Structure 1
Amino acid sequence: MKLGYTIIYVADVPQTVTFYETAFGLKCRFLHDSQTYAEMETGATALAFAALDAIELNGLAVSPNSAKSLAAAWEICLVTEGVASAYQTALDAGCSPVVPPSEKPWGQTVAYVRDLNGCLVELATPIT
């Protein structure tokens, strides 16, 4: 087994793609003609977004992400050498601050923001 991709269900896939391009510098790998599914360039494992309607099509029931409620108990982590500048860029693009950059006892610098959908995003230096 290997992790193929992570899908985040969102209200507006194209808006989320544009937001991630601006806030985190990611590039869109694929956006379906239906505008209900997209993948971002994130290396070997893709970060994908799917429309909330796809939840029912897949026979699932979930609690949608919301910027107005407490963050769900998961996060995505984007790795960068420049956490402080990535954090500021994310804030400038409209992310909500959660935890500003700080150095962890193991030497890694980490910060947290929430995206336009209320999803928790960790910005972190590589673990050495």
Structure 2
Amino acid sequence: MKLSYTILYVKDVPSSVAFYEKAFGLKQRFIHESQQYAEMETGDTKLAFTSNELANSNIPQGFQENSLSKLPAGIEIGFVDENVPVAFTNAVNAGAISVVEPKVKPWGQTVAYVRDIDGILIEIASPM
């Protein structure tokens, strides 16, 4: 078994794609003509977005929607960058919400946290 993709449930798929392009420099792999599903170029493991509407049709019992007005879900998306302070500043300038400014951890890795436009928690870390 291998991890193939992570799908984030969002309010507006095209807006999320545009945000991740601007904030993290990712490139859109494709967006479905319905505008309810998209994938980003992220290497072997894909990062994808599905609209809350489509997600609700797939999960009839419902789910907790991501929102900046609530605490983030107990999961994070992790990005690695050689220059965490610059990546953090770029993300915040693109509309990400600062959660924890870059800090050097005891093991030597620099780590910062932001939330995206839907409130999803994102770690920006230096390579290990």
User: Common fold, TM-score beyond 0.5?
Assistant: yes
Report Cα offsets for 1:69-120 as digits up to 9, x if no partner.
Answer: 1111100001110100000001101111000001111111100000100000
Runs of 4+ in structure 1 off by over 3 angstroms are none
Q: TM-score, normalised by structure 1?
A: 0.96
Aligned position for 1:30: 30
Q: Which moved more, 1:60-69 or 1:5-14?
A: 60-69
SS at match of 1:22: helix
Deviation (angstroms), 1:26: 0.5
Provide the TM-score with structure 2 as the length reference.
0.96
* Whole-angstrom distance in 1 between the partners of 2:83 and 2:42: 16
Please give the alpha-carbon distance, in whole angstroms, between the structure 1 residues aligned to 2:8 and 2:103. 27
After superposition, residues 56-71 of structure 1 pair within 5 angstroms as: 56-60=56-60, 61-71=62-72
Unaligned runs of 5+ in 1: none
Displacement of 1:54 after TM fit? Answer: 1.4
2:8 counterpart SS class: strand
User: Quick check: 2:112–2:124 contact (8 Å CA) kept in 1?
Assistant: yes
Structure 2 counterpart of 1:124: 125
Q: Which amino acid aligns with 2:89?
A: Q
Matched residues in 1 for 2:102 and 2:31: separation? Answer: 32
Describe the SS at the equivalent of 1:33. coil
Which amino acid in structure 2 is aligned with residue 25 of structure 1? G
Partners of 1:57 and 1:70 lie apart in 2 by: 24
> Number of aligned pairs?
127
State the alpha-carbon separation in 2 of the partners of residues 85 and 57 from structure 1. Answer: 39
Separation (CA, whole Å) in 1 of partners of 2:41 and 2:33: 18
Structure 1 residues 67-86: aligned runs within 5 Å = 67-86=68-87
Amino acid of the structure 1 residue aligned with 2:110 = T
Residue 56 of structure 2 contacts residue 63 of structure 2 at CA under 8 Å; is this kept in 1?
no
The question of whether the paired residues in 1 share the 8 Å contact of 2:7 and 2:50 is answered with: yes
> Which letter does structure 2 place at the counterpart of 1:33?
E
Q: What root-mean-square deviation, in Å, do the aligned CA atoms of Structure 1 and Structure 2 show? A: 0.8
Output the CA distance in 2 between the equivalents of 1:100 and 1:53. Answer: 33
Could you say what secondary structure the match of 2:22 adopts? helix
